[in-house]
Chains A and B, each alone.
Chain A
């Protein structure tokens, strides 16, 4: 009898886009421009089944931060609910919203501390390679100065602040594209100081998502795109291939 495992991979892909301050920063002392774009697809799948085509993977935690998670959907729902209630508590206690950096720390600590929480002690020895909460997260936001950040996490909390990130089943397809176009890796003659505008970034996100959907069976059906700027969070929907 095969052993039942408590994890299932519900696939999907989240992708986050770079956040940069616009070049005219000096004039920006007044305006505070910058952006973060995060996009995630809407498919919920198990192995070779599609369970649903309309599932949200992104959650807007504050007006400046959006979290996307891939991996196991039930863990994702729990994590998002817990974080939303933490945001709510913080807002009530401190009368302001939590900053993006603080949220990233909280997510890291939460994952790290809850690593063994759900398991009774005996099970830890049997399941040394099981992860506790099987969600791979990507957090996008802008901080008080208007600069955008992406934090990508693994399932147990190690994280890194970066300018672009991807997670989910389409990571292997998306990250090389992002590395090539944004970091200009393997492009020796490219202008490395070229700055990214919000419109170009949006186009890039859409292109990368379309590319991943072509090849990855667990990604598709439509994407939610959040564009975070100091003015607020704008949500767009982009249809994707349904096959």
Chain B
């Protein structure tokens, strides 16, 4: 978390500097991704890594905006503590890479709506909550759209069902009674 806070400060400074220069050029998602990758790589080369895995999402404003479509309108990139970097349609960090990423791959559709995507993510997070002991069921969605920009929503609690016999064993003294009831 502390490394993440350092990164937030660095990126905020970057944005401020860009704003001050006021030359009409905005920092796009690929630029910030590349900047972050270089920072991560530099730190790891100095044996002092930023111990995080980052996901960067954004909208790339195409120059030929309305008529021609640029291949990558939306940008989703990953950078980690070693400086490994790539761009893909679905990205997960940490344990999510083991558990959630296959789910995302299975249910991904190029023409998904926002609601469908949210449902897939919610299901993936729910599975992670069930499976990872260090997680909690409160999640925050953030979405980036061309019209609305960046929207980080309020935290949402996931509904979970723990009503399974395997994890709710009937206590011994109650069990005997139930068997007697059955025989009756």
Q: Give the nearest-CB partner of B44 in chain A.
A: A6
State the CA gap A48–B78 with chains docked (Å): 18
Residues in B75-102 with C-beta less than 8 Å from chain A: 78, 82-88, 97-98, 101
A108 to chain B, nearest CB (A): 21
- Candidates B45, B82, B86; contact of A55 at CB < 8 Å: B86
Chain A residues near B40: list those with CB within 8 A. 74
Query: For the complex, would chain B's binding face be called helix, strand, loop or mixed by DSSP majority?
Result: mixed
Min distance, Cβ A168 to any Cβ of chain B, angstroms: 16
Docked CA distance A125–B4 (Å): 31
Judge whether A167 is part of the interface by a CB distance below 8 angstroms: no
Question: Using Cβ atoms and an 8 Å threshold, which residues of chain A touch B82?
Answer: 6-8, 72-74
Q: Mark B132-172, 1 if CB is under 8 A from A, else 0.
A: 00000000000000000000000000000000000000000
**Contact of B63 with A by CB under 8 A:** no
A206 interface residue per 8 A CB criterion: no
Interface size class of A (residues with CB under 8 A): 20 to 34
Q: Is the CB of B47 within 8 A of A120?
A: yes
- In the complex, the answer to whether B85 meets A119 with C-beta atoms within 8 Å is no
With A74-B85, A119-B47 known to touch, is A49 a contact of B98 (CB < 8 Å)?
A: yes
From B45, B78, B84, B88, contact of A8 by CB (8 A): B84
- Interchain CB contact (< 8 A) of B45 among A4, A6, A46, A51: A6
Alpha-carbon gap, A52 to B98, bound state (A): 13
Distance between Cα atoms of A8 and B82 in the complex (Å):
8
Kindly state whether residue A123 has any CB partner on chain B within 8 Å: yes
Task: Select which of B87, B88, B101 is within 8 A of A49 by beta carbon.
Answer: B101
Is A78 interfacial (CB-CB < 8 Å)? yes
> B97 to chain A: which residues have CB within 8 Å?
49, 51
Residues of A within 8 A of B47 (CB): 6, 119-120, 123
Name the residue in A10, A74, A75 with the highest tally of chain B Cβ atoms < 10 Å from its Cβ.
A74
Interface size on B, residues (CB 8 A): 20
> How far does the Cβ of A128 sit from chain B's closest Cβ, in whole Å?
14
Query: Does residue A162 face the partner (Cβ distance < 8 Å to B)?
Result: no
Is the pair B49, A74 in contact by a Cβ cutoff of 8 Å?
A: no
Asked whether B84 lies within 8 Å of A78 as measured between CB atoms, the reply is no
Determine the distance from Cα of A50 to Cα of B100 in the docked complex, in whole angstroms: 12
User: B residues within 8 A CB of A123?
Assistant: 47
Nearest CB of B to A44, in Å? 6
Q: Does A54 contact B (CB under 8 A)?
A: yes
Task: Say whether A99 faces chain B, with CB atoms less than 8 Å apart.
Answer: no
Interface string of A1-23 (1 = CB under 8 A from B): 00010111010000000000000
Per the bound structure, the CA–CA distance linking A55 and B47 in Å amounts to: 26
Q: How far is the CA of A201 from the CA of B40 in the complex (A)?
A: 40
A52 contacts B86, C-beta separation under 8 Å: yes
- Whether A51 touches B83, Cβ cut-off 8 Å, given contacts A119-B47, A123-B47, is no
Per-residue interface assignment for chain B, residues 30 to 49, with 1 indicating a CB less than 8 Å from any chain A CB and 0 otherwise: 00000001001100111101
Query: A55: which B residues are within 8 A, CB to CB?
Result: 86
**Which residues of chain A come closer than 8 Å to B86, judged between CB atoms?**
44, 51-52, 54-55, 73
Within 8 A of A (CB), among B83-125: 83-88, 97-98, 101
Nearest first, the 4 A-B pairs at minimum CB distance are: A74-B83, A118-B45, A52-B86, A73-B84
